[in-house]
Amino acid sequence: MNDQAVRAALQRHWDASDASDFEREHDIYATDAVLDYPQSGERIRGRHNIQQSRTVQPNKKRFAIRRILGGGDLWITEYILTYDDRPSYVVSIMEFRDGLVVHETQYFAERFDPSPSRAHLVERIDETSPR
Using alpha carbons, list the distances in angstroms from residue 1 to 4, 7, 35, 108. 8, 10, 21, 29
Does the residue 42 lie in any domain?
yes
User: Distance of alpha carbon 73 from its chain centroid, rounded?
Assistant: 16
Tens digit of each residue's pLDDT (9 = 90 or more) over 24-78? 999 999 999 999 999 999 999 999 999 999 999 877 889 999 999 999 999 999 9
Does the residue 20 lie in any domain?
yes
Write the CATH number for 74.
Answer: 3.10.450.50
User: Which has the closest alpha carbon to 25: 52, 1, 2?
Assistant: 52
Does the residue 17 lie in any domain?
yes
> CB-based contacts of 56: which residues, under 8 Å, 6+ apart?
none
Does the residue 38 lie in any domain?
yes
Does the residue 123 lie in any domain?
no
- Tell me what percent of the residues of the chain surpass a pLDDT of 90: 76
* 8 Å CB contact between 72 and 3: yes
Does the residue 75 lie in any domain?
yes
* 8 Å CB contact between 25 and 14: no
Using alpha carbons, list the distances in angstroms from residue 94 to 10, 111, 118. 10, 23, 34
> CB-based contacts of 67: which residues, under 8 Å, 6+ apart?
77, 78, 130, 131
Does the residue 122 lie in any domain?
no
Count of the separate structural domains present in the chain: 1
Q: Print the domain residue range for 44.
A: 3-111
Rounded to whole angstroms, the Cα distance separating 30 from 46 reads 8
Does the residue 49 lie in any domain?
yes
User: Distance of alpha carbon 79 from its chain centroid, rounded?
Assistant: 6
pLDDT of 36 = 97
* pTM of the shown model: 0.88
